[in-house]
Structures are given as C-alpha cells and as structure tokens.
C-alpha cells in the first residue's frame, strides 16, 4: 500500500523543537533525499518529516508505540517512554540504523515481528489460522522473556503482543468480511469462532499502552453481546461494559473514552441516563473531572436536539422502479429510517446487517426504510445498480430527490451519515440518532416497542 492511499497525511513543518517535560525525543538523520513519515500507532494520521536532519519531541504520558514509514511502505516500529531519546539514521539507499534509549528494544521489534500473517495455504480466521498464530505468539513471548531487555519494555511489549492477537481475532474477521471481497470469499468462520471471548479478561492496566486498546475492548463487548456472553441492554450497556473490566485504572480510562465516543455518535441520552453509575466506577480524579465536563456536553446536546418528540417532516421517496412513497404510506407503523449514500463506506458496511434485522423483525410490523441521499447522474447510476443487484429483503429502499439539499433533510438537520432514526406510530421521532444495525442493542430496542 502506498502512502497516497492512507486516509490522512498531516504535514508538520519542524526542524528543531524545544523538548518538553513528559516528552520523548526523536532525532532523524535522513540522507535518503526523500521525506519520511512519522505515525503514532494509535492514529491513522501521518506526520511528514522533511528530507533533512530533524529533531522533535512528542508528548507521551505512558509507554507508546510509533511507526517511521520509509519509502512509503516500509514500517519501522518504535517504542518510547517519557524522557527517552530515539535516533534513526536513514542512508542514501533507504536502509536504516537505530540508536538511543531503547536501541536494543526497537531492534528486537524489527527482528521479531508479530502481525498475525500466515502462509497462503491457511484460510483466514480458520481453526488452522488461530492455532498457527497462537504458536507464533507463544514463540514471540518466549523470545521476549529470554531477551534480557529492559524490564518495563518486556512487560509492556508482552501485553502489546497478546493484544495484537486479540484485536486481530475480534476486528480482522469482520473487517475482511465487510471491506475485502477477495479475502471474504475465503472466510468461513466456525460456529464457535468467538467462544474464546468467554474467557477474555480485562484486568491488566498495561493494556493502555497497546495503541488499539479501546477498540479491542469495545469490539469485544459488542461481540460478547452478539453471542449472548454478556447481557444486551439498551438502557444499561455502558454500566455492563464498565463492570466487566476488573482493573480500576483500565476501567476508568475506558469509561471516559466510551463516553467521549458515545457523544460523538450522538448518544447523549445514554450518557445522561447512565452517568451516575459510570461516575461511581471512575476512580481517577482527573478522569472524574473529565466526566463532569462530558455530562455537561451531553446536557447541552440534549437541549439542542429539537427532533425528539417532533413530527417527522414530510418526505417523498422513490424506489428504483420510480414508485413514490410518503410518510402517509406508513401511518400506524413504527418506522426505522437509515440515511446513507453510495459514497459512504461505513453506510454500505451496515446494509447487510440492516437487511438481516428487517427480516428477523418482519413479524413485528416495523417498517424499515433505506433513505438514499444520492444525487447527480454518477451517484444515481451507482445507486440504481446497487438496487437492481441486491437480494430481496424487508427493507424498502428509497431515494430522496435533492439528497442533502432537500427540504426533508434540511428540516431534520442531518449533516452526515450513516444516521438512523426511529419514529413511532403517530409519526413522532423517538430516537433521532439510533444505534447502527450491526449493534445488537438496536434489535433489542426495536423488539421492545409496543
């Protein structure tokens, strides 16, 4: 994959910066003549480092991992802590050498990688795939234990390696099934594939140094819900998640990150309704202060939401065959509206779940609408092609003329997708920002409607 294909490349115009307390220092001696790219492993953003000698500091509050990307595709993993110094010398031919506080540790990571790759003869996420990676992980952990390296690094990196495997088992299969057609054709998950989650414990604060720690925990809980390993509760799921984490440091940080994510998704009501229990489980004083700020943000979002309790605005939507529907056609039914457009990858990833949800709840009489906001000849052609090639389901797929610029969308205030709304039998909006179809809590909520 070339650098141009990454989501974001953020330029950083630096040559020498003042080293601050709580920072790690990086010296890059670049004789290669090309810019290199610096990436925190917990971010999709890349920082461009000029094609010259550069020294800069990066704030760290815990042991952290970074990548230095050379020639657009070669990743050099870097470990650092507060006060550490790392020097990378890049020769004219692109080869690199390491020096600094964790020279031996960073060299070890290069020589003993673990990224859950397997021989092509092994089907992705099969039993053989799991067993192969379990063996590789055990080997890497034994090598680390016997390495004689820095004791703190050994503890942190052992957690890093174990969580790399957990994240890949949780996220890799679903991501491949959704976004990688060439891989998904080879995937056939065993019925008990996720049974390992029954034994997963979140009891180690060292997990916080793993760059994808939050996604690992959050996606684990979603799969646990989906497979019945923990209760699916639309009204108390945050508390259920938090109480499943036994380490108080990890739990407190997770609670804050979960609430921050929930507010970004528009789930302010969940934050308000479950706040008292969440704050009681948050033990760190600074994080408790952050929780107070987040509650205020949730209250502000609630006051600004004029959709809850309002009537769904009038709309006209057209099927691919040209048949028109209005709100009046669904009078007396609960309605779920899924807003999307064909250029939205996350939207399309949710469509199989939405179709399945509509089929599973067909007996409830709930009307499931797919509201396309595509406009223009190219996007409309793409939408029509998708509609004519999709399998039948209980979802009614409509396109709103004018898309985001239509009166309907302007009145609802929708600025981005995916977005789901739930409307009651009288046409009143009861959830202006519902959970996504892949989330088991949406099905639980819809199943409770009377």
What is the reported pLDDT for 32? 75
* pLDDT tens-digit readout, 264-291: 999 999 999 999 999 999 999 999 999 9
Residue 389: give its domain's CATH number. Answer: 3.40.30.10
Please indicate, yes or no, whether residues 249 and 323 belong to a single structural domain of this protein. Answer: no
Check pLDDT > 80 for residue 13.
Answer: no
Please indicate, yes or no, whether residues 30 and 77 belong to a single structural domain of this protein. Answer: yes
> What does the pLDDT average to over 203-225?
97
Q: Between β-strands 429-431 and 96-100, what pairing exists: parallel, antiparallel or unpaired?
A: unpaired
Burial 218-227 (b: 16+ CB within 10 A, else e): bbbbbbbbbe
Please indicate, yes or no, whether residues 146 and 267 belong to a single structural domain of this protein. Answer: yes
What is the reported pLDDT for 181? 62
* pLDDT tens-digit readout, 82-138: 999 999 999 888 889 999 999 999 999 999 999 999 999 999 999 999 999 999 999
Is 297 within the bounds of a domain? yes
Check pLDDT > 70 for residue 4.
Answer: no
Check pLDDT > 60 for residue 19.
Answer: no
Cα distance between residue 76 and residue 38, in whole Å? 10
What is the reported pLDDT for 7? 33
User: Which residues lie closer than 8 Å to 142 by C-beta, 6 or more apart?
Assistant: none
Q: What percent of the chain has pLDDT over 70?
A: 93
What is the reported pLDDT for 2? 39
Please indicate, yes or no, whether residues 242 and 331 belong to a single structural domain of this protein. Answer: no
What is the reported pLDDT for 370? 98
Q: State which residues form the domain around 284.
A: 127-304
Decide which of 60, 85, 102 is a domain's last residue. Answer: 102
Is 119 within the bounds of a domain? no
Per-residue tokens: 14: 């630096």
Q: What percent of the chain has pLDDT over 90?
A: 83
Please indicate, yes or no, whether residues 338 and 289 belong to a single structural domain of this protein. Answer: no
What is the reported pLDDT for 303? 97
Decide which of 304, 327, 359 is a domain's last residue. Answer: 304
Residue 96: give its domain's CATH number. Answer: 2.60.40
Cα distance between residue 266 and residue 298, in whole Å? 9
Sign of CA pseudo-dihedral 302, 305, 307, 310: positive
What is the reported pLDDT for 71? 81
Mean pLDDT of the chain: 92
Lowest-confidence range among 25-39, 232-246, 285-299, 395-409? 25-39
Please indicate, yes or no, whether residues 251 and 144 belong to a single structural domain of this protein. Answer: yes
Is 185 within the bounds of a domain? yes
- Specify whether the CB–CB gap between 302 and 269 falls below 8 A: yes
Please indicate, yes or no, whether residues 338 and 272 belong to a single structural domain of this protein. Answer: no
Q: Between β-strands 367-372 and 335-340, what pairing exists: parallel, antiparallel or unpaired?
A: parallel
Please indicate, yes or no, whether residues 139 and 241 belong to a single structural domain of this protein. Answer: yes
* pLDDT tens-digit readout, 348-403: 999 999 999 999 999 999 999 999 999 999 999 999 999 999 889 999 999 999 99
Bridge partners of 428, per DSSP, are 311
What is the reported pLDDT for 184? 66
Is 443 within the bounds of a domain? yes
> What does the pLDDT average to over 36-43?
92
Number of domains in the chain: 3
Decide which of 264, 279, 304 is a domain's last residue. Answer: 304
Please indicate, yes or no, whether residues 278 and 164 belong to a single structural domain of this protein. Answer: yes
User: Which residues lie closer than 8 Å to 226 by C-beta, 6 or more apart?
Assistant: 194, 440
Please indicate, yes or no, whether residues 243 and 382 belong to a single structural domain of this protein. Answer: no
Is 137 within the bounds of a domain? yes
Backbone phi, then psi, for 185, in 5-degree steps?
-65, -20
Is 360 within the bounds of a domain? yes
DSSP string, 178-214: HH-HHHHTT----TTGGGGGGG--B--GGGGGSTTHH
Please indicate, yes or no, whether residues 194 and 280 belong to a single structural domain of this protein. Answer: yes
Helix or strand or coil: residue 303?
Answer: helix
Cα distance between residue 321 and residue 315, in whole Å? 18
Q: Between β-strands 85-90 and 96-100, what pairing exists: parallel, antiparallel or unpaired?
A: antiparallel
pTM beyond 0.75, yes or no: yes
Check pLDDT > 80 for residue 260.
Answer: yes
DSSP string, 210-276: STTHHHHHHHHHHHHHHTTSS---TTTHHHHHHHTB--HHHHHHHHHHHHHHHHHHT-HHHHHHHHH
- Specify whether the CB–CB gap between 424 and 334 falls below 8 A: yes
Is 311 within the bounds of a domain? no
* pLDDT tens-digit readout, 146-200: 999 999 999 999 999 999 999 999 998 878 776 666 666 778 888 999 999 999 9
- Specify whether the CB–CB gap between 350 and 432 falls below 8 A: no
> What does the pLDDT average to over 55-63?
93
Is 122 within the bounds of a domain? no
Cα distance between residue 426 and residue 416, in whole Å? 26
What is the reported pLDDT for 5? 37
- Specify whether the CB–CB gap between 425 and 334 falls below 8 A: yes
Please indicate, yes or no, whether residues 10 and 89 belong to a single structural domain of this protein. Answer: yes
């Amino acid at each position: 994959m070339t650098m141009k294909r990454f989501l974001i490349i953020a330029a950083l115009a630096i040559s020498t910066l003042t080293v601050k307390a709580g920072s790690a220092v990086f010296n890059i001696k670049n004789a290669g003549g090309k810019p290199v790219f610096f990436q925190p492993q917990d971010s999709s953003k890349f920082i461009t480092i000029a094609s010259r000698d550069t020294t800069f500091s990066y704030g760290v509050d815990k042991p952290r991992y970074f990548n230095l990307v050379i020639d657009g595709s070669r990743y050099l993993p870097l470990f650092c802590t507060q006060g550490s110094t790392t020097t990378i010398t890049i020769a004219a031919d692109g080869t690199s050498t390491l020096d600094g506080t964790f020279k031996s540790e960073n060299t070890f990571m290069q020589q003993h990688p673990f990224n859950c790759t397997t021989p092509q003869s092994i089907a992705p996420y099969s039993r053989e795939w799991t067993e192969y990676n379990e063996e590789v992980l055990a080997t890497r952990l034994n090598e680390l234990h016997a390495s004689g390296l820095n004791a703190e690094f050994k503890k942190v990196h052992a957690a890093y390696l174990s969580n790399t495997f957990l994240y890949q088992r949780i996220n890799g299969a679903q991501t491949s099934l959704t976004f990688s057609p060439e891989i998904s054709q080879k995937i056939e998950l065993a019925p008990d594939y996720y049974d390992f989650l029954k034994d997963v414990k979140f009891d180690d604060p060292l997990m916080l140094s793993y760059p994808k720690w939050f996604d690992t925990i959050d996606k684990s809980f979603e799969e646990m819900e989906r497979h019945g390993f923990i209760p699916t509760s639309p009204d108390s799921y945050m508390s259920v998640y938090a109480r499943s984490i036994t380490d108080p440091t990890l739990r407190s940080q997770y609670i804050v990150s979960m609430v921050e994510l929930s507010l970004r998704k528009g789930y302010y009501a969940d934050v308000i309704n479950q706040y008292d229990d969440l704050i009681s489980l948050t033990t760190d004083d600074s994080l408790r202060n952050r929780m107070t700020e987040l509650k205020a943000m949730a209250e502000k979002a609630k006051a600004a939401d004029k959709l809850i309790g309002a009537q769904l605005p009038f709309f006209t939507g057209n099927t691919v065959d040209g048949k028109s529907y209005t709100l009046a056609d669904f009078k007396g039914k609960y309605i779920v509206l899924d807003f999307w457009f064909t250029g939205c990858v996350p939207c399309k990833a949710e469509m199989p779940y939405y179709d399945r949800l509509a089929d599973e709840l067909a007996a409830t009489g709930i009307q499931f609408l797919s509201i396309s906001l595509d406009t223009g000849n190219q996007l409309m052609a793409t939408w029509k092609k998708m509609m004519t090639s999709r399998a039948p389901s209980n979802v009614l797929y409509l396109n709103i003329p004018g898309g985001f610029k239509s009166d309907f969308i302007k009145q609802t205030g929708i600025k981005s997708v995916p977005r789901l709304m739930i409307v009651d039998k009288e046409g009143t909006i009861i959830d202006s920002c519902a959970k996504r179809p892949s989330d088991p809590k949406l099905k639980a909520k819809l199943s409770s409607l009377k």
